[in-house]
Amino acid sequence: MFEVTHVDPSGARIGRLHTASGVVETPAFMPVATNGSVKTLSFETVAGLGFDALISNAFVLYLRPGLEVIEAAGGLHMFMGWDRTVFTDSGGFQMLSPEFYEKTSEKGVSFRSPLDRSRHLLTPESCIDIQNRLGSDVMMVLDDLVPFGSSGDALLASVERTTRWARRCKEANRSDGQLLFAITQGGTDPVLRRRSADALVEIGFDGYAIGGLSIGEPKEVMSRILREQAEILPKNRPRYLMGLGSPTEIIDAITSGMDIFDSTFPTRNARHNGAYTFQGYLNIYRGGFKDDTAPIEDGCKCYSCKNHSRAYIHHLLRSREQTGKSLMTIHNLYFMQRLMALTKEAIREERLSEFKEEVSGPVASKYAGRL
């Protein structure tokens, strides 16, 4: 189900995850399609960018359009018109969202729909049932996520409940071929993180996600936790760092042994005028780009850079033309995809640490022509 084909001295891996819908080459970045759409793009464009997998949100889709609608279409793949791998998040992450979250009990999490304020109890069993009915390729367990800075007692309780819920998820009914990933908790406490990972590995899952990070803790703390988690987690299972992050954070996490990533950053930043380049982050809305006939990034082979200048995209953004946001999104997702390819190459050549320094430093521009 998951083969590791190469390991760099740093611990970074190249692998292949086999799902019911195909192969996901890792390290893999997944675009986010919370509502069943990668914002501003068609799936033809997303597939053309080379992505093997995306992540949607089971609980958000359960609220709208509802499971009946998606089942009538033949499942989430058919409903969306995307035949490659689909991960679904369980909804656990919405516990950090005041517009969703109400309260937690041993039974599950009580949510309010932000659409109509209706009340919904999400249990480990119902979260698996929802993802089963959606037909996602990779399901995520319901975890008990607590805010950054929670007390030691609260973190311990979260780890223990996350373990019990993960077991209930594993025992719940699901279809053949659907993979189930567990999520470790434990905040920034090394002992609790180890305890969480050990307990989940003992139950046994198809993959392991690191949850409850990138919610406020310092970056070096995150790196340490990731390295420690990678030591504990089985080598023949994919490791998924959820909801993260910037290009440099992702490369850092790959160096720490992580395989799979998702983040709204590239798409959300694009809609807020921010372009990723090997020269750094560019706000294309800024006045300086008004008559800049260069592409967003010289040498980049994405549709936007091959066909349009910074000046044109700047003009569309200023004119509030939706196409401007699409062109920015295409560039940023292409950048992420190329970054994964270059990272893979560096792992294969066992020079990932060097590559990591390069792309974070002043010589990053040597990679510009490699886009």
Q: Residue 155, interface with its own copies (CB under 8 A)?
A: no
Q: Is the peptide bond before 245 cis (omega within 30 degrees of 0)?
A: yes
Least Å from the CB of residue 83 to its own copies: 10
In contact, 29 and 262? CB cutoff 8 Å: yes
User: Which of 18, 164, 174, 315 is the binder for its own copies (CB under 8 A)?
Assistant: 315
Taking the least distance from each CB to its own copies, the nearer of 239 and 325 is 325
Region of residue 186 (phi > 0: left; psi between -120 and 50: alpha; otherwise: beta): left
Q: Residue 268, interface with its own copies (CB under 8 A)?
A: no
User: Which of 104, 113, 264, 323 is the binder for its own copies (CB under 8 A)?
Assistant: 323
Taking the least distance from each CB to its own copies, the nearer of 314 and 338 is 314
Taking the least distance from each CB to its own copies, the nearer of 48 and 234 is 48
Q: Residue 264, interface with its own copies (CB under 8 A)?
A: no
Q: Residue 81, interface with its own copies (CB under 8 A)?
A: yes
Q: Residue 79, interface with its own copies (CB under 8 A)?
A: yes
Known catalytic residue at 89: yes
What residues from 21 to 60 belong to the interface with its own copies (CB under 8 A)?
35-44
In contact, 211 and 167? CB cutoff 8 Å: no
What residues from 94 to 113 belong to the interface with its own copies (CB under 8 A)?
none
Piece of 93-101, 137-145, 229-237, 312-320 that binds its own copies (CB under 8 A) = 312-320
Piece of 104-112, 309-317, 332-340, 342-350 that binds its own copies (CB under 8 A) = 309-317
Least Å from the CB of residue 312 to its own copies: 6
Q: Residue 171, interface with its own copies (CB under 8 A)?
A: no
Q: Which amino acid, one-letter code, is at 324?
A: G
Taking the least distance from each CB to its own copies, the nearer of 43 and 334 is 43
Least Å from the CB of residue 118 to its own copies: 16
User: Which of 195, 308, 338, 344 is the binder for its own copies (CB under 8 A)?
Assistant: 308
Taking the least distance from each CB to its own copies, the nearer of 79 and 334 is 79
Taking the least distance from each CB to its own copies, the nearer of 16 and 315 is 315
What residues from 56 to 75 belong to the interface with its own copies (CB under 8 A)?
64-65, 68-69, 72-73
Choose among 216, 178, 213, 214: nearest CA to 197: 213
Q: Which two tokens stand for residue 122?
A: 């999400």
User: Which of 264, 303, 345, 370 is the binder for its own copies (CB under 8 A)?
Assistant: 303
Known catalytic residue at 292: no
Q: Residue 291, interface with its own copies (CB under 8 A)?
A: yes
- Catalytic option among 8, 52, 89, 144: 89
Contact positions vs its own copies (CB under 8 A): 35-44, 64-65, 68-69, 72-73, 79-81, 290-291, 293, 303, 307-309, 311-312, 314-316, 318-319, 321-327
- Enzyme catalytic residues: 89, 262
